[in-house]
A and B are shown apart, each in its own frame.
Chain A
Amino acid sequence: MSEPNILADKWGKPAMSEVLEFYHSSIRKLVAERFAASGKTWQEAVQDPALELTRADFEKIEADLLATGYRFTMSAQVSIEEEPEKYQPIAGVGNSGNQVSDENGRLVVGTGDNVFQATDLEGTARFVGTVEVVMDMLMNGVPEGTIAVIDDSGGTLTAPILEGFAGVVCMGGTIRSHLGILTREYDIPCLMAAELDGLADGDRIVVEYSKPATDAYAERDDSLRARIAKVS
């Protein structure tokens, strides 16, 4: 055995994602170079701390990728706050201008998968996507009639204020995600995997929570998705 096995992988193929392929192929190359220069057997080399990759090696690999102009997508607020130069800017809710109207003449600004069947609800859409917004609602209370528009399906960002929401519209996840589980436990109407177009913070909306709960095992059927209509 004369090198890392992965370099002689008969059935290997590139990773799906650009960042993963860049990192892993860079690491493989570095390991192979260091091993070849060592003059040791693989068994000796793999257990030799002096030949191990270091933090500086990994920092250089990241720097090499960033030097190409690549910028990462973020998922946690803290990541982009601490290193904004490494991340792409956050995209907000778009507005195509192509919204259709419902049977009552109201613009449909989104649809989603209903977690459980409740009754339709009118309220004020409030975007709850940052620690600062949550902290404000924690300290000053959640305004009555808030339908929280949340862009992640986790249960932690909104943990201390979730119970105060009249309804939830989540732009990610599935009905089995943690936020779906929690809203069901709290009996708070909730849409998951919502796709929004033209919804703005503060809009008055009606959410079609009366739709039957989404079948987690069924193929997507747009006609079964609950609609979000703009009242004003």
Chain B
Amino acid sequence: MPANITPAELQDLNQFLQKSSDIFYWQCTTRTVQESKLFPVNPYIALSYYNAWYRYPEIFRKIEAVMSPEELGARAREVSMSANAIMLGIIQQFYLGGRQFLLDMGMINPTDGIEDVKYVLDFAQRVNRSYHRQSGYTLNSDMNNRAQLLPERTLQVFEADALGCKPGDKLHTAVVKFLATASQYAFLKNCECRLGIHNSGPYKVGDKEMLVRDFVDLAEGDYPWLDGVASEIEHNNITLPVIMKDTHFNIVDDWGSFEATPSYDHDNMVAVGLYTSDYLSNGYIPVHMENASDMADYLDHMRDQMQRVTAELWKRMAGWSREQMIDAGLLVYYSVPKDLAHIAGVYDTNDWMLVEERVQRMRPLFNDEYGNFAIAELVGYISLSSQQESPYTMSKWSGQSSDMWSKIPNSVLNDDNYTASVGPIRGGSSALPPKTGKYTTTRGKLTQDEANALARGFTSSTIAGNFVNYDDQWVKYNAGTPEADALYRATQENSFQLKGKGSTLRADDVAALRRW
């Protein structure tokens, strides 16, 4: 019997797979190279791909049983958390990386696990489309590397409430120092990867541009290695909308990293805000934004905290075994979709912080050299045997006769030479101490069960009822109606300048009301 997939579904699947293959090649070869003398980075990256291959299908079905990908994306786009452009956009890449390695080893054929592949890629595509509803795209790269994620109602609040600053003043100095320390801490807690740092934008603010800078998973929460050591960090996610003059952000890529012309220079920062948010908050909550001095003091306070936590966490990590280092990095990578489970209220640390036994068995292969070449050949050189195509082929970016991810053969529409699934998750273990601490949220420090119960009973006021379908296209023709005003007032609830102002403010009105 042919596979349970229609020709149209197979086309959609293979097109998303090919698009993912092309853009991941561009990202991996142009944006950065990761290495560390502390962490065996490439061994953990490669192993994370296998964990994604074996575990995502079952866990995604568990999440979708209570919440659709469209609703997950809708909830994620109202706040800044680790369900963001980089984490969501990379789900299918890690999953397909596991598939490609196994194909190359001959452990599976390209017709194996195809209902799982179809499901995971469909899930990933749908959640990304919903998350990117504002731009109408699926990934930032679709928009020529631009991340227009937020609606007018949120951006108006960011613009109006931002506090002015200039080089040398207290707030400017505090922001610059905080960004450095937070970036440093984010790389360390995420075991050398950039997944804790996210940027969206640029958004036009008159003749200036706004970049929304997020730092996520900062506090005691999902990563067991932050238990205790990061207990003093008060906010798990921090967002700084930064308004810049004389700067054009020409690239905000799929990994949320940016480039600017002329080069980014802190001296061009003219206003900034500070917020926290998560899956339990009604949008963004201002943090010590009463005035510039208060915000500067709090940024310095957080910076002091992060410096202490960085030193203590580094000591903890420096004492880890190689297996523990690999597990931590592997789990940071593998768990990129984890906040979808938080949103749905079905988060289980055993789903996200364990390494499947079919992955554990492969550890003996992963010395540093094999790990480095496995990743370099898979995503950079595209030189694995399984990646080679007909010699007539020229791939999108490299022109080589090879592609990163192998498509599903159309033969599955003809015959029964396929398998549907990798089967159920088989156990899991980790060399790291298990999660024991609480989860830092905007509703306080919660147990896993408490956080899940709150999430299941919560819908942000900004997407409740019909609001979820009131996008900017609707607002364009409905501003001033009771529904539009109610939607905007829900977003303006915590605003210093716009509280209660409603939906009719135009750009000049916001400019007249802003604090800078």
Contact = CB atoms under 8 A, between A and B. Distances in A.
Nearest to A45: B419
Contacts of A182: 180, 183-184, 187
Contacts of A5: 103, 106, 109-110
Contacts of B321: 78, 82
A79 B361 contact: no
A154 to B, nearest CB: 3
B112 A46 contact: yes
Contact of A131 (B107, B318, B377): B318
Interface of A: 1, 4-7, 9, 11-17, 19-20, 23-24, 27-28, 31-32, 42-43, 46-47, 52-55, 58-59, 61-62, 72-79, 82-83, 86-87, 116, 129-131, 134-135, 138, 150-157, 159-160, 162-163, 172-174, 176-178, 181-182, 185-187, 213
A12 B187 contact: no
Given A12-B385, A16-B373, A46-B108, A152 B37 contact: yes
Given A28-B106, A75-B40, A75-B42, A176 B32 contact: yes
A163 B38 CA distance: 18
B310 A160 contact: yes
Given A6-B104, A6-B106, A185-B183, A55 B377 contact: no
Nearest to A175: B32
Interface centre among A7, A156, A162, A213 (most CB of B within 10 A): A156
A59 B364 contact: yes
Interface stretch (B12-20, B142-150, B387-395, B473-481): B387-395
Contact of B372 (A75, A116, A138): A75
A82 B368 CA distance: 12
Contacts of B401: 11
Interface in B308-340: 310-311, 314-315, 317-318, 320-322, 325
A150 B35 CA distance: 12
A214 to B, nearest CB: 11
A59 B360 CA distance: 12
By Cβ-Cβ distance, the 6 closest A-B pairs, closest first, are: A154-B36, A4-B106, A28-B106, A185-B180, A12-B385, A17-B373
A11 B36 contact: no
B159 interface: no
A78 B364 CA distance: 15
B25 interface: no
Interface string B182-195: 01110110011010
Given A17-B373, A59-B364, A76-B41, 4 more contacts: A47-B423, A152-B36, A155-B36, A155-B184
B105 interface: yes
A86 B370 CA distance: 12
Nearest to A152: B37
Nearest to A17: B373
Interface string B22-49: 0000000001111111111110000000
A163 B31 CA distance: 24
B233 to A, nearest CB: 16
Nearest to B32: A176
10 contacts: A6-B103, A19-B373, A55-B361, A58-B365, A75-B37, A75-B42, A83-B367, A129-B37, A155-B36, A187-B176
B383 A15 contact: yes
Contacts of A73: 368-369, 372
Given A62-B367, A156-B187, A47 B419 contact: yes
Nearest to B320: A78
B368 A79 contact: yes
A185 B41 contact: no
Nearest to A82: B322
Contacts of A76: 36-41, 322, 325, 368
Interface string B398-417: 00010000000000000011
Interface of B: 31-42, 103-112, 176, 179-181, 183-185, 187-188, 191-192, 194, 263, 310-311, 314-315, 317-318, 320-322, 325, 358, 360-365, 367-374, 376-377, 381, 383-386, 388-391, 401, 416-419, 423
A91 to B, nearest CB: 14
Contacts of B311: 138, 160
Nearest to B417: A1
A79 B364 CA distance: 12
A19 B388 CA distance: 19
A14 B384 CA distance: 7
B32 A77 contact: no
A177 B32 contact: yes
B132 to A, nearest CB: 25
Could you say which of B179, B321, B373, B391 has the most chain A C-beta atoms within 10 Å of its C-beta? B373
A20 to B, nearest CB: 5
Given A58-B361, A62-B367, A181-B183, A159 B188 contact: yes
Nearest to B312: A160
Given A131-B38, A185-B179, A186-B180, A9 B322 contact: no
Given A24-B385, A138-B311, A77 B38 contact: yes
Contacts of B376: 17
Given A6-B103, A43-B419, A151-B37, A14 B188 contact: no
B109 to A, nearest CB: 4
B37 A77 contact: yes
B32 A32 contact: no
Contacts of A159: 184-185, 187-188, 310, 314
A12 B383 CA distance: 9
Give the residue among A6, A52, A55 with the most B Cβ atoms within 10 A.
A6
A178 B194 CA distance: 8
A43 B41 contact: no
B304 to A, nearest CB: 13
Contacts of B38: 76-78, 131, 154, 156-157
A27 B192 CA distance: 30
A6 B33 CA distance: 29
B105 A24 contact: yes
A151 B36 CA distance: 9
